């Protein structure tokens, strides 16, 4: 609760980064995932995606990634998918922010529930597949494999302009 309040109360990027790291680490335990959600932590952390400091943005994406291992959390995190896709598209190629966003999208695309929110980013994913480093390519492939398991996304995958 104090970490979530601290995130809301400070503009200091170093404090924000450390609070997000702590929340991310605590989210490794399923009981904490529920607690963070019940304290409105997902929306607070999600709000940090728009932070202009790359390290803060990355740590927010990492925290959401850990929190997304819970179905109830995914239901709340899904409101940030479009913003995460935009972040992946606008982040420097192969950056930590881009990789953190792709990891979150991988978790959020395991089921087909939120694929529709990602299909507009398929051209970006394909671009990253051809231009990214091996780390980036692996993360993009995980997202694309998840999307390809859904027949409703086949048309979008095949028609994407690269």
For residue range 64-86, list pLDDT tens digits in order: 999 999 999 999 999 999 999 99
Q: How many residues does the structure list for the chain?
A: 162
- For residues 26 and 54, the answer to whether their CB atoms sit within 8 Å is no
CB 118 within 8 A of CB 143: yes
Contacts of 71 (CB under 8 A, 6+ apart): none
Q: What is the DSSP letter of 52?
A: S
pLDDT band at residue 28 using 50, 70 and 90 as cut-offs: confident
Residue 131 CA from chain centroid, whole number: 20
pLDDT computed for residue 31 by the predictor: 94
Q: How confident is the model at residue 33 (pLDDT cuts 50, 70, 90)?
A: very high
Query: What pLDDT is recorded for position 56?
Result: 98
pLDDT digits (tens, 9 = 90+) for 106-139: 999 999 999 999 999 999 999 999 999 999 999 9
């Amino acid at each position: 609760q104090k970490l979530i309040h601290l995130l809301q109360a400070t503009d200091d990027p170093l404090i924000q980064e450390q609070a997000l790291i702590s929340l991310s680490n605590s989210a490794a335990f399923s009981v904490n995932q529920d607690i963070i959600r019940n304290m409105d932590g997902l929306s607070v952390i999600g709000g940090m995606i728009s932070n202009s400091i790359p390290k803060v943005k990355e740590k927010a994406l990492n925290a959401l990634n850990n929190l997304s291992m819970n179905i109830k959390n995914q239901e709340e995190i899904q409101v940030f998918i479009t913003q995460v896709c935009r972040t992946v598209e606008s982040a420097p190629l192969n950056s930590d922010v881009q990789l953190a966003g792709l990891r979150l999208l991988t978790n959020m695309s395991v089921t087909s529930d939120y694929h529709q929110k990602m299909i507009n980013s398929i051209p970006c994913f394909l671009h990253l597949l051809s231009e990214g480093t091996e780390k980036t390519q692996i993360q993009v492939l995980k997202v694309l494999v998840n999307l390809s398991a859904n027949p409703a996304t086949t048309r979008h995958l095949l028609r994407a302009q690269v």
